[in-house]
Structure 1
Amino acid sequence: MKLSNIVYAFSYAAALTLFVSCNNDDDIVTMMEEEMEIAEMDFSGTYAQADHMGRPGINTVLNGDDASKDLHNITIPSEMAANFQAGFEARLEGLHDAYAVALGFTAADVDYENNILGLDAATLTGYLAADVLEVAPNNVTTYFLPGEDADMDGNVLNDPAVIGLTGRTIQDDVIDVSLILLFGGAEGIRFSGQDTDGDGMADLPRLTSDGVSITANPTTTFPYLGNPE
């Protein structure tokens, strides 16, 4: 009886091993077939650049017509600044002038003011026209980092530790950052509804935020975004 049990158990184990081995062989064959299908895929044809998204919203705001937006999307980065910087700067100045007129000020009263990074209009729009994200090996990666005592809601953004344009992280609110750099002036709070120097500009419309915060919690694993709050 015991010998029968041992023989039965051995036969069962051998059959199970054979079954597993066959399954493993099948898996290998399936993988090989899939790899062959991938290798045989036809990638011939003509492909065209359709869009750039290094800096979301910039092309939309600073190119004034659909044809220019489309052209910007298909221009290679090395040619973007030369082709679009002047138009971006004119558009930026024009937006400031439009707000001045709408509010009853002169254009000079609401002209572009060098921003919190110390960039004048020409330099800023030169950076933004080239829709690429820079890399700073010796600095933190950030779309914009105002410093320890500042926040992204227009409060005390004149910290000397401010840096920006060194890349982009999931935590960066890129639309608010862009608006601060375009309209926030030297302290980052111009066009934020705050009157910092008694010049009567507190009534300017708030242009330094779209009012939408990041709604997903970043994680440390792919795809790095948690469930929306």
Structure 2
Amino acid sequence: MKINNIHILFSALCLSVLTVGCSSDDDFMTTSPQPTPSMEMDFSGSFSQVDHMGRPGINTVLSSSAQIKNMHNTTIPSEMLATFQTSFETQLEGLHDAYAVALGADPADINFEPNILGDILNGPEPTSANNPNPVSATVLTSVLAADVLEVAPDAPTTYFNAGTGAPNFEGAIGLTGRTLQDDVIDISLILLFGGETGARFNGEGGLPQLVTDGVAITANNITSSFPYIGAPE
């Protein structure tokens, strides 16, 4: 009899928890008129992927055609590296050639220069013949071809933090996630065109300005409540 009573009590508790847990259904409106079963969200049917936005701007810069851009937007991340790395690298080198022609220089003399991420991988030791910068055009486009954000549970979340800055970038951290304060477009342009110091093609000395889009992120546009970004400035 005691066992039956325990079963009855347990069932009653489960029913009460279920009733309380279901008392507020996020799929229904809370304003009048009161919701009806026909207002439930219907997720049946076929869906298609139309866009990625892990790293804004990468597809725009490194896709050499609208066809490649559209393909990249609809490709699952696990297939992106094999599908797009080669074309992204070709486009990256092609952009450097185009800037060389615009500057009246030999395209063979202006190529992608291994960038500031190399200092993260190398550690505090400066890049040298014995400690080369490993971030070649192939390495960089292999990372950027897959439009996903990495997660580093043992490091601060940031798209890129230059640490002490050039020339050694001591304490620099890169590609460990993304925060609202990260100027993703500028960082991406620096990785693509900034070279080992981050300042190559900075608009000085007759060179084009390729390491910034000229649009700053201000603290006034970041809020502490959803959607966390204020009105356009």
Q: TM-score range by the shorter chain?
A: 0.7 to 0.9
Match of residue 225, structure 2, among 221, 225, 228: 221
Aligned partners of 1:144 and 1:163 also within 8 Å = yes
* Letter of the 2:216 counterpart: S
1:15-34 equivalence runs, <5 A: 33-34=34-35
Q: CA deviation at 1:31?
A: 8.4
CA gap of 1:56–1:32, structure 2 versus 1, over 3 A, is same
1:110-149 equivalence runs, <5 A: 110-118=110-118, 119-147=135-163, 149=164
- Considering only CA atoms, is the larger Rg found in Structure 1 or Structure 2? 1
Please state if 1:162 is matched with 2:193.
Answer: no
1:6-21 equivalence runs, <5 A: none
Aligned partners of 1:113 and 1:186 also within 8 Å = yes
Q: CA deviation at 1:219?
A: 2.3
Please state if 1:191 is matched with 2:192.
Answer: no
CA distance in 1, matches of 2:179, 2:209: 25
Q: CA deviation at 1:145?
A: 0.8
* Letter of the 1:36 counterpart: P
Q: CA deviation at 1:36?
A: 3.0
Please state if 1:206 is matched with 2:200.
Answer: no
Residue of structure 2 in register with 1:48 after alignment: 48
Q: TM-score, normalised by structure 2?
A: 0.74
Residue of structure 2 in register with 1:175 after alignment: 185
CA gap of 1:49–1:81, structure 2 versus 1, over 3 A, is same
CA gap of 1:133–1:35, structure 2 versus 1, over 3 A, is farther
Aligned partners of 1:158 and 1:188 also within 8 Å = no
Q: CA deviation at 1:48?
A: 0.3
* Letter of the 2:227 counterpart: P
CA gap of 1:174–1:33, structure 2 versus 1, over 3 A, is same
CA gap of 1:36–1:161, structure 2 versus 1, over 3 A, is same
Gaps of 5+ in 2: 1-29, 119-134
Residue of structure 2 in register with 1:78 after alignment: 78
Residue of structure 1 in register with 2:37 after alignment: 36
What is the DSSP-based 3-state SS (H/G/I as helix, E as strand, rest coil) of the residue aligned with 2:84?
A: helix
What is the DSSP-based 3-state SS (H/G/I as helix, E as strand, rest coil) of the residue aligned with 1:92?
A: helix
CA distance in 2, matches of 1:54, 1:172: 13
Q: CA deviation at 1:104?
A: 1.5
What is the DSSP-based 3-state SS (H/G/I as helix, E as strand, rest coil) of the residue aligned with 1:101?
A: helix
What is the DSSP-based 3-state SS (H/G/I as helix, E as strand, rest coil) of the residue aligned with 2:35?
A: helix
CA distance in 1, matches of 2:100, 2:141: 20
What is the DSSP-based 3-state SS (H/G/I as helix, E as strand, rest coil) of the residue aligned with 1:225?
A: coil
Q: CA deviation at 1:33?
A: 4.8
* Letter of the 2:78 counterpart: S
CA distance in 2, matches of 1:68, 1:116: 28
Gaps of 5+ in 1: 1-28, 151-155, 195-201
Please state if 1:97 is matched with 2:100.
Answer: no
Task: Indicate the percent of aligned positions where both proteins have the same amino acid.
Answer: 60
Q: What are the Cα deviations for residues 86-128 of structure 1, in whole angstroms up to 9, with x where unaligned?
A: 0000000000011111112122321100000012111111111
What is the DSSP-based 3-state SS (H/G/I as helix, E as strand, rest coil) of the residue aligned with 1:94?
A: helix
* Displacement over 4 Å in runs of 4+: 29-33
Give the root-mean-square deviation of aligned CA atoms.
2.3
Aligned partners of 1:157 and 1:189 also within 8 Å = no
Q: CA deviation at 1:61?
A: 1.0
